[in-house]
Structure 1
Amino acid sequence: MADPTPLLSQSHLADPEPMLIPKHLPSLDETFERYIGDFGWAQLLQAFLVSFAWVFDAQQTFISLFTDAEPPWHCTELGTELCTSVSNICQLPKGSWAWDRAADTSIVSEWTLVCAGSIIKSLPASSFFMGCMVGGLVLATLADSSLGRKNMLFFSCLLMSATGILTIFSPNVWIYSGFRFLSGFGRATIGTCAIVLSTELVGKRWRSQVGVCGFFLFTLGFLSLPAIAYLSRSSSWRYLYLWTSVPASLYCVLVHFFVRESPRWLLVRGRKEEAVATLKSIGAVNNSSFTLSFSGLPFEEEETTNLHLYSVISILLEKRWALRRLSAVMTVGFGVGMVYYGMPLALGNLPFNLYWNVTFNALSELPASLIAFFFIERLNRKSSVLVFTMTSGVCSIMCVVMGEEWASLKIGLELVSFFSTCTAFDILLIYTIELFPTCVRNSAMAMVRQALVFGGVFCPVIVEIGRGNGYLSYGVFGVVIISCGLFVGCLPETKGGTLCDTMEEEENKQRAGSGSGTGTGTGSSLA
């Protein structure tokens, strides 16, 4: 068998002690860089098709901004005098006011929820995020262990879209909340699988840019909501679910027939022939030399094929350095998630048109994605996340400090806060990919997204309570994201690093970096 490390210099070969990384591991990474490092049309199509799942993810995440919104109302002739002295609709007698549009334009008006308690009114949105949490716990490791990235993406999109169609038939808020729970359950792993699969289909040079492309498409899905909602503003809220769920179902067909599985995952699972076939189909390589080079890889199948459903989580918990990283990045994710999901839900509390508010917030994600796309290779992960979380928290708190006479300034501060959160969100996901090796990457990413949506679970209740007290909405958001953002200091810097495939490779890489004095402080985290 040929020497699996032909790129090592003779001086290194003569001194075996510094060789902390097993010989076959650099060869594996070099193989991927050689055969999929160049970004061809096949990879572009695959990455775009996979990342397009973010469009439907965004639509189902924020659809409640319009379907669950309190519609505008007006006073009738019988209540003209009362309306001038009472601003709370719940204090007005029946017949003294009426909705501006048909009752079925929102669940609030159709099911008479306008005077219900904060828990009831926020139940559908909270149920969605609870479904995301449960779905993440149940489905998190399937993409790493048995189903793979592609099949998990297909299953998640199919369940989310099918549940969205069934939501149309909800007769009351309880059934509706149940369907929202199921939708969140299915949606839980879409973003995780999309970003992991798309980045594993390309080499190191394009990894970050391809990951950020998904954020652009998420913004596109977010932007499409106010447009669709405005065009159907006089129709039932059920049409909004119809217009978003049916295209998602058609997208599932495309994923099933045209998306390729991650070659890295196939190799880690010991499925070499499928990995070779996948790389041949997406890489511009010579078939004969490709087979000869790749078949010589001495990858240890025994270590990677004995994983069961939750063994990847146990691996993360057994390694102190992995547990430390996971705990820190999940804490940061909780704070970012609370503001990211909470800010749009709180837009109804601001004195401005809801459609324009949502549009401006969705547009603020574009510069966040542009920053991540063009500057991700230049940005230090730790300092970037820290700066943007601090900026978001300060602006959020200032929204509370400003009085009602500063309405325009409050909207500007809210946009800056949301923009900073979006940027921190994007960088944090790329950061997570680089922190963990292939064998547990999807599960680690899923758990970080669990922390993000866990922050979202509390948002609907906080927003409802904060309708009369800004300190309980924007004030809470600011304090939480500042406090959680500080935990990024516990993480190592990963800028410019290579993706590892096994836990041992990650450990050896960091030990080698620490021992040579060229590391970024990550060696000490591998206690």
Structure 2
Amino acid sequence: MDIDEVYKDIGEFGPFQQKIFWSLSLMQIFCAFHNIHNVYIGAEPSFKCIHGDKILNSCLKNNVPCDRYAFPGDDFSSIVSEWNLICDQGYKADLVQSFYMAGFLIGSFLFGFIADSYGRRCVLYSTAFGVSLMTILSVMAPSYTVYVTLRCVTGMLSAGFGMVSFTYTSEVIGQSKRGFMAITFPVMFAVGIAMYSLIAWFFRDWRYLALVTATPGVVGFYFYCSVPESPRWLFSQGRVPEAETVLETIALKNRGHAPNKAVQLRESSAEDVGHTKQKQPGIMAAFKHPELRRRTLNNMYTWFVNCCVYYGLTIGAGNLGSDMYISVALSGLIEIPAYFATWLFLDRIGRRPSFTWTMMVAAVVCMSIMALPDGYPNIRTALALCGKIGISVSFCIAWVYAAEMYPTNIRNKAMSVCNMTARLGGIFSPLILAVGRSHPSLDFLVFGAMTFLAALVSMRLPETANVPMPETIDDLDRPRSSERETILGAAITEDKLKLLEGEIGALEYEDAEVHT
């Protein structure tokens, strides 16, 4: 038997698997806390600039530093008031998020390698502990330099936990439930954005707020004591007896008794897996074939833009002029219907039109915000939320769409390239927002122009709805017959969707969710 057949026998989504699934799903809420950590902890409170005998309510012209700053309001505190990140030093507050995303990029590669080499379980509990430890240390940071360094390390650990938790969950549940998982994780992330706004409203001191985000570390104890290693990972490493033991343990905890017959995996399949891995093309194969190169370069840019604009609209929601807490909470809640709408768009109008037009909506809305005169904060917020819906849907589509257009033997590697460029977009997003502080609404012009160009570029991508997925690079050179595609597409749609659920579940991902 292979592992999917075993799951059908012992339970694809039994009580023990549900326990793991929901614990890791709920942890995406805390992942969201860290990803938008700087929205409130790096927010700028009201201040007064004291220069000589003058007391001003704004910065001096030409970025001339004030002699000192006073923060008379007691609304909230942040790292801005802690280290006077005002006026000519204001860019440093935005730079914290860029360093966090840089750590996120590094952690995606580092912990992906560790998880593949040493197992999923050790990464889960070590990164859960690590995120909490780094967050607690950041609360006690004596200087800005120490703080930003700790946030970079936190980003690395957070990336490891988020990515491996997605992979691990997909490996301990049955194939038929992976589609449900693919929706649940980003939905929980969106809920986390809204919850963080509520928590920030209660905890106005940035140190107490940071400590709240350190609480997930206790989950590390749970994974260390209660959760077994991924049976799929053990099987891929040739550790078949251990994989069989884990599967029997899952059956025992699901049913309350051992399975009727002993679990016996085909050891030859494990050997075939190892043999197949040796024949896999390298990551540069995504650039050597002309058609793959065109698709990869196209996806690299569209993923960069989607991640950049997604985090730009999320983090920038607090700078729209309306209530900071309500704006950010709404920007998270608005993603939930967007994710469910994604599957409706994919089935009804196809991949490419859905991808292109949702980006076009986000582009037009962002540029409309720039054209809006001052004094309309509520309208600005409403437009930004519309843009957030568009970019959330397109970013979610990007995962499914890209997975379908690459051959099976290079899919994971090509998706890793796309994910890397997406994280680069996350690094640049706070820097673009920093430009908007000194030149109001210019950040939305940049976001709109980038997204409009990405929408145009995406029109060159192939449609993949109801089209057989390529298995090898050689399949791309075969002529495409529309009649053949229609017949085959109709015949294999159900199998293709099931295969995609398995492929996407195995990808070492963030946003998202989704957005992840």
Q: Same fold (TM over 0.5)?
A: yes
Report the equivalent of 2:131.
160
CA contact (8 A) 2:129 2:218 kept: no
Question: Is residue 2:41 matched to residue 1:67?
Answer: yes
Answering whether residue 72 of structure 2 is matched by residue 99 of structure 1, we say yes
Partner of 2:198: 227
What SS is found at the alignment partner of 2:364?
helix
Q: What residue in structure 2 maps to residue 248 of structure 1?
A: 216
Deviates more, 1:296-305 or 1:204-213: 296-305
Q: Which deviations, in whole Å up to 9, do the C-alpha atoms of 1:364-385 show, x marking residues without a partner? A: 1222233347877767444333
CA distance in 2: counterparts of 1:147 and 1:384, whole angstroms: 39
In 2, distance between residues paired with 1:59 and 1:66?
Answer: 10
Partners of 2:59 and 2:127 in 1: CA distance: 40
CA–CA separation in structure 1 for the residues paired with 2:68 and 2:424: 41
Most deviating of 93-102 and 223-232: 93-102
CA–CA distance in 1 between the matches of 2:288 and 2:245? 34
What does the per-residue CA deviation read over 1:148-194, in whole Å, with 9 as the maximum and x for residues that have no partner?
34433333333322211110121221111111111112222333223
The structure-2 alpha-carbon separation of the partners of 1:58 and 1:44, relative to structure 1 and needing over 3 Å to count, comes to same
Q: Which amino acid aligns with 2:435?
A: I
| C-alpha distance 271-424 of structure 1, shift in aligned 2 (>3 A) | farther
CA distance in 2, matches of 1:100, 1:179: 28
Checking the alignment, whether the CA contact within 8 Å between 1:329 and 1:487 is kept in structure 2 is no
CA apart distance, 1:30: 6.5
The Cα shift of 1:61 comes to 1.0
* Residue 448 of structure 1, CA deviation: 3.4
Question: Is residue 108 of structure 2 the alignment partner of residue 131 of structure 1?
Answer: no
| 1:40 is aligned to 2:9 | no
Aligned CA-pair RMSD: 4.1
Change in Cα spacing, 1:495 to 1:90, as seen in structure 2 (3 Å) is same
Structure 2 segments unaligned to the other structure (5+ residues): 493-516
Structure 2 residue 429 is the aligned partner of structure 1 residue 455: no
CA distance change for structure 1 residues 207 and 491 in 2, over 3 Å: closer, same or farther?
Answer: farther
The question of 1:120 aligning with 2:92 is answered yes
- Between the aligned residues of both structures, percent identity stands at 25
Give the whole-Å Cα distance in 2 for the aligned partners of 1:438 and 1:43. 28
Amino acid at match of 1:121: A
User: 1-side partners of 2:278 and 2:195: how far apart?
Assistant: 44
In 2: Cα distance, 1:510 partner to 1:41 partner: 43
Matched, 1:111 2:83: yes
SS at match of 1:120: helix
Cα separation, 2, equivalents of 1:514 and 1:106? 58
> TM-score w.r.t. structure 1 length?
0.77
What does residue 358 of structure 1 align with? 328
Would you say 1:214 and 2:185 are equivalent positions? yes
Paired amino acid for 1:249: G
Out of 389, 393, 398, the residue aligned to residue 359 of structure 2 is 389
Structure 1's 190 and 97: CA in aligned 2 closer, same or farther, altered over 3 A? closer
Corresponding residue number in structure 1 for 2:512: none
Instruction: Write the deviation string for residues 44-69 of structure 1: whole angstroms up to 9, x where unpaired.
Output: 22222233332221111111111111
How far 1:465 sits from its partner (Å)?
1.5
Q: 1:417 to 1:410 in 2, by over 3 A?
A: same
- Equivalent AA in structure 2 for residue 250 of structure 1: V
Counterpart contact for 1:381–1:427, Cα < 8 Å? yes
Residue 23 of structure 2 aligns with which residue?
49
Question: Cα–Cα, structure 1 residues 115 and 496, in superposed 2: closer, same or farther, change >3 Å?
Answer: same
Aligned residues: 480
Show the counterpart of 1:14.
none
* Alpha-carbon separation, structure 1, partners of 2:121 and 2:216: 16
> Shift of the alpha carbon at 1:452?
2.2
Letter in 2 for 1:253: F
- Note if contact 2:244-2:264 (Cα within 8 Å) is conserved in structure 1: no
The whole-number CA distance in structure 2 between the counterparts of 1:378 and 1:201 is 31
Q: Give the drift of 1:99.
A: 2.6
Q: Secondary structure at the match of 2:44?
A: coil
1:337 has 2:310 as partner: no
SS at match of 2:94: helix
Matched, 1:419 2:389: yes
Q: Distance in 2 between matches of 1:301 and 1:140?
A: 19
Distance 1:307 1:271, change over 3 A: farther
Distance 1:316 1:148, change over 3 A: farther
CA displacement at 1:299 relative to structure 2: 5.0
* Distance verdict in 2 for CA 1:36–1:323, change over 3 Å: farther
5+ unaligned residues in a row in structure 1: which ranges?
Answer: 1-26, 523-527
Find out whether 1:180 has 2:151 as its counterpart: yes
Deviations 1:257-279 (A, max 9, x none): 33344444433333333333344
Q: Is this contact kept in 2: 1:381–1:493, CA < 8 A?
A: yes
| Residue aligning to 2:498 | none
What CA distance in whole angstroms lies between the structure 2 residues aligned with 1:405 and 1:507? 55
> Would you say the 8 A contact 1:113–1:121 is kept in 2?
yes
TM-score (norm 2): 0.78
Contact persistence 2:308–2:426 (CA under 8 A): yes
Secondary structure at the aligned position of 1:291 is classed as coil
Residue 471 of structure 1 deviates from its aligned partner by 4.6
CA 1:90–1:226 in structure 2 vs 1: closer, same or farther (change >3 Å)? farther
Taking a change above 3 Å as real, the CA distance of residues 486 and 151 of structure 1, as seen in their structure-2 partners, is: farther
Alpha carbons 2:317, 2:384 under 8 Å: kept: no
Counterparts in 2 of 1:495 and 1:96: CA distance versus 1, 3 Å: closer
Q: Give the conservation status (yes or no) of the 8 Å contact 2:49–2:58.
A: no
Q: Distance in 2 between matches of 1:410 and 1:250?
A: 40
Q: Tell me, in whole angstroms, the C-alpha distance in 2 between the residues paired with 1:302 and 1:219.
A: 38
Structure 1 residues 235-384: aligned runs within 5 Å: 235=205, 237-245=206-214, 247-282=215-250, 287=259, 291-292=263-264, 294=266, 297=269, 300-303=272-275, 313=283, 326-372=296-342, 380-384=350-354
